[in-house]
Amino acid sequence: MSTSTFNKTGLIVGISGTIITLLGLMLMKEYDFGRYIMYSGFVVVGVVWVWSIWDVIIAEDLKFYQKMFWLIITISVPVMGGFIYFIMHQRRNRIVT
């Protein structure tokens, strides 16, 4: 499987986790199970965050300074940094900084 397939999957799973988290937040006011939905969304988003960090580390088409830039972004801005990385780093040999 190519790297761009993983990037698209990571982006889709991340967006889904964000939607699940927001749904849980909305349902939490009226139903007790809303809290569990929200926590499951947090788990999904956390997995995508770790996934994006790992994807930056193993990326072969990034130069050293590009990896450092993306590591700083994905670690310091957990969810949005991973989303931005997955959106901007879709193809090989594309400028990503």
Residue 97's pLDDT is what?
52
Sign of the C-alpha dihedral, residues 50, 73, 61, 63?
Answer: negative
The span from the CA of 31 to the CA of 74, in Å, is 33
In the predicted model, residues of the chain with pLDDT beneath 50 are 1-4
Q: Would you say residue 94 lies in a domain? A: no
Q: Would you say residue 27 lies in a domain? A: yes
Q: Would you say residue 79 lies in a domain? A: yes
Residue 9's pLDDT is what?
81
Q: Would you say residue 97 lies in a domain? A: no
Number of domains in the chain: 1
Residue 1's pLDDT is what?
46
Residue 81's pLDDT is what?
87
Q: Would you say residue 20 lies in a domain? A: yes
pTM metric for this prediction: 0.75
Residue 91's pLDDT is what?
57
Please, are residues 44 and 12 in contact by the beta-carbon 8 Å criterion? no
- Give 40's Cβ-side CA count (13 Å radius): 11
- Domain of 26 in residue numbering reads as 3-88
Q: Would you say residue 58 lies in a domain? A: yes
From the list 86, 94, 92, the residue with the least C-alpha distance to 7 is 86
